[in-house]
Structure 1
């Protein structure tokens, strides 16, 4: 009710009770926020911890006059479930690795990007500007994702026990280190690792005729290692307590930093065969409410302060600068879906349980 009408009632001797009743009625009316608040858009981001820190999000919000809603996931399965729950309509932009991107695109949950609106891709290292060389990023000539951060799986060695840095994956099988090697307890990665150690250029596609050779290779690895670990923290404890000489670093530089913080004198190398590596990319959902705003977010994360913060705060490599530990030209095998994940898992369970090669 307009205020002039209320003043008129009071001026003409209306009872105080009536005025109070009018005020009470006004109080019950729904509150209408300012027009700016009503029209402020919300960008819904699905990401991993460390990819959207609060202070960096606030800068984006102020710049574009929007609200950013962050939802964090801690596993690929959680990411997949979130995206599939409402056919991608619950989020606008998300971060996923190249192996996951393939099935996300297959499911129709992502849409192509307009690179003309993401100008900061020009800041990225050459290996990330060549999008056609990255698995899962381009489909039928259209770009679906932009690289953001990555990590490779090299070799960590004790400088005192291994005076000369190892140069090959075959060091994991070296009998000189028997009982002083740590490897990761993961079926898919280990079959790929075995293939790479034998010179394969396609470690994610092992032909049926090559399977027995890989089994024999992994049984030999099992016989040479101290044990297999699952988490970064477990690997640090095992490394320290068992005078480990060499470790396949499934978590890469993260493990290196943990070991160094524990006071161990360790080195880190990428072997000449190359290294398995994960690559997380930003992509836009099929159900995005404002594609332009989502592309502005991707562009923003490729600015120098944001990408640098990712490295300084999280210890993750960014796509603008080559990390100090990674030699120029080092070969990285970006993770891809494998030929038969279930079969790899079933065979690995038998290998780690102790089955000899002749039983396969």
Structure 2
């Protein structure tokens, strides 16, 4: 036995645990577009003789809603950013993981295996997620409409581009963006500052063409409406889509910095077969699968250093915000054209 490779031994033990579980062999995956492509899913299904049901989401709000239904028991494994992971742990929707039992975590870059330094995935000494993909959320601009790349987030409010700006339809990130543009903390907005941040977002609503939900939607709007500027919520994934479509666009991290997300795989508290869920996470960290994510989506994986990474000093990693529900409520009023009541009653 001493000649057995521990790496493959771990995989064998995990597979044996799955086979012995006796659970229904269907894995329910909740993830983002591009994270579970059909051909990759088919390989997993064939290898482990299971069925995979994939549900895709386009925003954190939709992800929260789906995971909240039936206390997470509708899904086995989910992909979410670190800030969301922390919230789900607090709500009791996830179960702890043992990355040392997921063999391919050994392939990851050291900084993605130092869990103590990754915000929000370690709670009360237990690990709840394994990093998978990351990107900054910069600005995509039409080179034909900019003589120089935009330097600041404030370009989204520039009246010269009124009706030619696309922003993402989410209260969480938009409040963070507006606060950042005003020089404030993007994640902890003081109650006294909410009125001016909301006014900033009302001004954004008046300047944009619309708020998009999916990267494909943004790409189509860009091509058909002479869009000058996009807030790239999906990061370089959106840049890749537009360039693949032959659009002459550039990408920039503004001087204020760019919000950045680190998506992780986590196992739902209501997972029917945690061993099968762990096999999925292990599969996602195979070099060919992680490279496919980068090659197809232009997102950075956790196994390789990206070729054109943004300066780390200008990346602002997502953190839990002061009040998700308040941001969502105010955003719905703003995007619908109402002026929200912001003063404390």
**TM-score normalised per structure 2:** 0.75
Partner of 1:303: 286
User: Does 2:310 match 1:327?
Assistant: yes
- CA deviations over 1:227-262 (Å, ceiling 9, x no partner): 444443443344344433322222333332333344
CA distance in 2, matches of 1:122, 1:187: 37
SS in 1 for 2:265: strand
Q: Deviations over 1:24-52 (max 9, x none)?
A: xxxxxxxxxxxx99989847342435444
Cα displacement (A) at 1:225: 3.8
Corresponding residue of 1:12: none
Find the aligned partners of 1:343 and 1:326 in 2 and give their Cα distance.
34
Paired position in structure 2 for 1:172: 156
Give the SS at the match of 1:111. Answer: coil
1:74 maps to which residue? Answer: 56
Give the structure 1 partner of residue 128 of structure 2: 144
Does 1:274 pair with 2:257?
A: yes
Name the CA shift for 1:197/1:128 in 2 (closer, same or farther; >3 Å).
farther
Q: List runs of 5+ in structure 1 lacking aligned partners.
A: 1-35
In structure 1, how many angstroms separate the alpha carbons of the residues matched to 2:264 and 2:114? Answer: 14
Greater Rg by CA: 1
Task: Say whether the 8 Å CA contact 1:307–1:318 is kept in structure 2.
Answer: yes
Distance in structure 2 (CA, Å) of the matches to 1:167 and 1:216: 22
Tell me which residue corresponds to 2:166: 182
> Structure 1 residues 299 and 185, CA, compared in 2 at 3 Å: closer, same or farther?
closer
Question: Compared with structure 1, are the counterparts of its residues 132 and 213 closer, same or farther at alpha carbon in structure 2 (3 Å cutoff)?
Answer: farther
TM-score relative to the length of structure 1: 0.72
Q: How does 1:1-360 map to 2 (within 5 A)?
A: 42=25, 44-48=27-31, 50-53=34-37, 56=40, 66-75=48-57, 92-200=76-184, 202-286=185-269, 291=274, 294-329=277-312, 331-352=314-335
Q: Deviations over 1:130-151 (max 9, x none)?
A: 4334343110121111011234
Q: Matched residues in 2 for 1:140 and 1:38: separation? A: 28
Offset at 1:93? 3.8
For the Cα contact (< 8 Å) 1:249–1:255, is it kept in 2? yes
Q: 1:231, 1:80 → 2: CA distance?
A: 17
Change (3 A) 1:354 1:134: same
Report the aligned-residue RMSD: 3.8
Q: Is the Cα–Cα contact under 8 Å of residues 52 and 70 in structure 1 kept in the other structure? A: no
Q: Aligned to 2:241, what secondary structure does the other structure show?
A: helix
CA contact (8 A) 1:282 1:298 kept: yes
